[in-house]
Amino acid sequence: MTTTSSAPELAVRTAGLVKTFKDLRAVDEIDLEVRRGEIFGVLGPNGAGKTTMLRMLATLLPIDGGTAEVFGVDVRRQPHVVRQLVGVTGQYASVDENLTGRENLWLFARLQGVPRSRARTTAVDLLERFGLENAADKPISQFSGGMRRRLDLAASLITRPPLIFLDEPTTGLDPRTRGQMWDTIRDLVADGCTVLLTTQYLDEADQLADRIAVIDHGRTVAEGTPEELKASVGTSTLQLRLADRDQLAAAAEVVRRVLGDEPTLTPEAGGLSVPLTDADVAADVLIGLRQSGVGVASLSLQKPTLDEVFLAITGHGTEEPSATDTDPAAEPAHDPAHDPATSTDRTLETSR
Amino acid sequence: MTTTFAPATPRDRDVLAGVRTHLGPRDTIAQTMTMAWRATKKMRRNPEQFFDVTIQPILFTAMFAYIFGGAISGDVSSYLPLLIPGILGQTVLTTCMATGVQLREDMDKGVFDRFKALPIARVAPLAGPMVADLLRYLIATTLTFGTGIAMGYRPGGGVLGVLAAGVFMVVCGWSLAWIFTFVGTVARSAQSVQGVSLIILFPLTFLSNAFVSPSTMPGWLRSFVNVNPVSHIVSAVRSLANDGTVTADVGWALLGCGIVIAVFGPLSVRAYTRKM
């Protein structure tokens, strides 16, 4: 048994990872290093290749090029070993609709060789831990979205795998359930797990991840801590709407003078926006505007959105690209359960 | 054989301790039986899945006997010894087809992602439902014989002959179901499985000796009917149930079933593993 592990402290390592669907490179030479015990966030819009990458690492999709290792074990050569090390929770709950919550956990425990009596107690423990004990004997069809996600995550933890993949764990959840999911994910790491998660929300990556890779069109466009990432776009954005839109040029001049940055103008709305490295300097801008006699109708100070991060890093926003160049990248086309059409109406901005 | 994984470096040991590189046959069987348990749960909660094995044997047996009995054998009761084994073959083949359709439907669901991501034998998610389907073949076989007997069929092979014929038919059904399982793993949708399966099913059942004696057919057709595996299965059931004798057809049919499993079993697993 030879494994080529050059860096044993890594939970995941990929080099030049490639996945091609017909003539589209959904994952285009991604290099990734996830350290043990950290939460690593893969951030990107729909169709960036996040799910495809995760599915390759989880042995659910064949790897077309490059190498991938999980705890030093080659994913392509030893998928059976990798499957024992990784718990996967997909974007769409992969639990059995025909079974109850308890039966689901029992099924997955038994399939992984857990003896009958222990499978029963494991199911009870997990149901309790995820607050599902009251729904234990209800069919999944009566579960809410959040309950399904929790059951799905519980099913991934039966054998306590050292590495957990979470594909958009909170997409489609209400804010309260989302917060609960975040707490659960933090608990996992406290227990010694390594977590690799994908998300399209900057604030989720910000809240959870120790390090983030930003992915766009199958390529890594930025990598670093959340702080580094946000610093690259400014910590927040100042948005102004002027009382008199004819004063837009004068306002832009003030911003340029005070901040030394070029504001983005929206003349039809009499508005302008500019990234701030420090929210405190907003006051300087306002004073400058007052001194120049420019009236302000409304103003807001906003945290950077994923859109702005993208704009700053890639020079283009997270606008939905045309169907031909995004859909197959998001998910394999033949897999109806993963139809990206179901998620295109989601906002790409961070929720505040 | 189970081999313990040798860790690459000392620091990997905690994580890789207890990890295994291969599955033994015992694991495979245990996982298959667990998947069979899942399939029986599913059957119990979707009783409409039993329509084909409950209504069809009763309806078709009565229908075919009363429509064709007089024309083919002079009267209904003398047609029954010819018809019952034939209709049994047809019913079990139809049941096989449902195996493929249901597998396809099942594979489109999210839970199959988890099955694929789990360290389990690739054959278990395919073979599990097929083990549970033994129950369906048993119901279909029992109801066909039951309906026949209620209509006046008196099998000459006695209880033992009928039991042997029933077991034989269940074995054949399970083996032939691998063909439809393969269709299920390669087809794009449940509808296409149904379509392709019907194209396989109709010629196999009707271009056989299931309903009429091939002696009345033109020569070119007779030569196909004589090599059709369904003909051998039906002949074997007739000899077992009607005469209580084990003829060469039983051997040929079982050999054919073995070949089907040997070919379509690995093909199905390969198609399933690739379709990720």
In three state form, how does the secondary structure of chain A look? CCCCCCCCCEEEEEEEEEEEECCEEEEEEEEEEEECCCEEEEECCCCCCHHHHHHHHCCCCCCCEEEEEECCEECCCCHHHHHHHEEEECCCCCCCCCCEHHHHHHHHHHHCCCCHHHHHHHHHHHHHHCCCHHHCCCEHHHCCHHHHHHHHHHHHCCCCCCEEEEECCCCCCCHHHHHHHHHHHHHHHHCCCEEEEEECCHHHHHHHCCEEEEEECCEEEEEECHHHHHHCCCCEEEEEEECCHHHHHHHHHHHHHHHCCCCEEEHHHCEEEEEECCHHHHHHHHHHHHHCCCCEEEEEEECCCHHHHHHHHHCCCCCCCCHHHHHHHHCCCCCHHHCHHHHCCCCCCCCC
SS3 of residue B4 by DSSP: strand
Of A97-101, A116-120, A124-128, A260-264, minimum mean pLDDT range: A260-264
* Mean per-residue pLDDT of chain A: 82
Among residues of chain A, what percentage have pLDDT more than 90?
41
The nearest alpha carbon in chain A to B9 belongs to: A8
Which residues partner with A67 through β-bridges? A15
Chain A residues near residue B35 by CB distance under 8 angstroms: 111
Does residue B211 fall inside a structural domain?
yes
Chain B residues near residue A155 by CB distance under 8 angstroms: 114
The arrangement of secondary structure in A236-302, i.e. its CATH architecture, is: 2-Layer Sandwich (3.30)
The nearest alpha carbon in chain B to A10 belongs to: B12
The residue extents of the domains of chain A are 10-98+139-230, 236-302
CB-based contact B41 A99, cutoff 8 Å: yes
pLDDT of res. A71: 93
Cβ-based neighbour number of residue B19 at 10 Å: 21
* Predicted confidence band of residue A305 (pLDDT cuts 50, 70, 90): low
Q: What is the mean pLDDT of residues A46-69?
A: 92
- Residues A149/A173, Cβ–Cβ less than 8 Å: yes
Does residue B66 fall inside a structural domain?
yes
For B67-120, how does the pLDDT look when each residue is reduced to its tens digit (9 = 90+)?
A: 998 998 888 888 999 999 999 999 999 888 888 999 998 888 888 889 999 999
| pTM of the complete model | 0.79
Is residue A337 pLDDT above 80, yes or no?
no
Residue A159 Cα, gap to closest chain B Cα (Å): 11
CB-based contact A59 B116, cutoff 8 Å: yes
Does residue B217 fall inside a structural domain?
yes
Chain A residues near residue B5 by CB distance under 8 angstroms: 1, 81
Is residue A326 pLDDT above 70, yes or no?
no
The nearest alpha carbon in chain B to A74 belongs to: B8
Q: What is the mean pLDDT of residues B17-22?
A: 82
Residue B69 Cα, gap to closest chain A Cα (Å): 43
Residue B96, CA distances (Å) to A126, B42, B49, B104 in order: 38, 17, 13, 13
Q: What is the mean pLDDT of residues B216-225?
A: 91
Asked if this assembly's ipTM is beyond 0.95, the reply is: no
Chain B residues near residue A7 by CB distance under 8 angstroms: none
Q: What is the mean pLDDT of residues B255-276?
A: 90
Which CATH number describes the domain made up of A10-98+139-230? 3.40.50.300
- CA dist., res. A324 & res. A317, Å (int): 18
Is residue A3 pLDDT above 50, yes or no?
no
For A105-147, how does the pLDDT look when each residue is reduced to its tens digit (9 = 90+)?
A: 999 999 999 999 999 999 999 999 888 989 899 988 888 888 8
Does residue B242 fall inside a structural domain?
yes
Does residue B261 fall inside a structural domain?
yes
Is residue A231 pLDDT above 80, yes or no?
no
Please name the member of A5, A62, A90 whose beta carbon is closest to the beta carbon of B9. Answer: A5
CB-based contact B117 A103, cutoff 8 Å: no
Does residue B26 fall inside a structural domain?
no
What's the structural domain count of chain B?
1
pLDDT of res. B51: 85
The nearest alpha carbon in chain B to A104 belongs to: B38
Please name the member of A84, A162, A337 whose beta carbon is closest to the beta carbon of B119. Answer: A84
Residue B118 Cα, gap to closest chain A Cα (Å): 6
CB-based contact A59 B117, cutoff 8 Å: yes
Does residue B21 fall inside a structural domain?
no
